[in-house]
Chain A
Amino acid sequence: MKVIGYFLLFFVLAMILIVLAIILGDSAPWYFAWIIGTGLLILTSAAAGFMFDTQEDKAKGELQ
């Protein structure tokens, strides 16, 4: 149930992001958006990796 709640929350958040991006960018400078967006994408997924390790380390710390 909690997962469904989170799912709905995140899904709605994603939809809001899409609508915002659409409103802001009819014929946007998409190349520029791509360069910035790809850079941010690389960094965000890298941050997801860091976060995973932090969680793992914390879990191990709690176990010990």
Chain B
Amino acid sequence: MVDDAPGELVRSLERTAREIRRDVIRMLAEAGSGHPGGSLSMTDLITALVFHELRIDPAHPDEPNRDRLVLSKGHAAPALYAALAHRGYLPHDELFTLRRLGSRLQGHADRNKLPCIEASTGCLGQGIGMAVGMALDARLAGRPSRIYTIIGDGECQAGPTWEALMAGGHYRLSNLTVILDRNGLETDGPTESILGIEPVAEKFRAFRYHTVEIDGHRFPEILGALEAARRRTDGPTAIVAKTIKGKGVSFMENQHAWHGKAPSREEAERALAELPPLP
């Protein structure tokens, strides 16, 4: 399954992910604040969703049968904004208004301001519950929509995360896929030294999720896991994606200090030099 993804598709996703990472760095440097670490760790996941897996169409953002993505770890909005810009939901230039007064690009995404933001998030532990609600709705209405949500590993310390997970498992929501960005770090340090969440895959299994563990930076594995989730008919899927916080920028990688701090102009230049556009 892992090696089925055609090489051209993978190369195209890698190119797009590279552009998104470049945008994230420039957006945050321009804004002067924001969260680079968790944006870069989930960039490959969000690229696979927005450019391959999700049945969405920028020409028809309100199509009722569309798939839905809820970014439960809402502080990583810059990566979502960049992906949506490349997918045609907003002008690319607008990305650089992030966090400015009057911008549609709020520090944490606001569904009332932009298309394809399915839920306003920013308070950890809430997006996943809203995703469960959307999955219940789709099943009730007999719509083919699939619901995806990306959660953080620090977010897995929050009680509401597990309450929502329990509901998704109890209702056997086959149309729900929960993706954990397992980058190992939260604001103040490593999750396992602050308040350990392991064995997290076993917890998901105990909560009745088909659970797979993948490398969250390898597209063949991401695509394979998403495809398997789409085929499920007997309950929700959890994808534990092992990632690197700050992925792609050597001085940010695995550094919790880069959770919520924007790069200076000079740091952004250095970061971009490490992330040249792919041919």
A binds B: no
Instruction: Point out residues on B near A: beta carbons under 8 Å.
Output: none
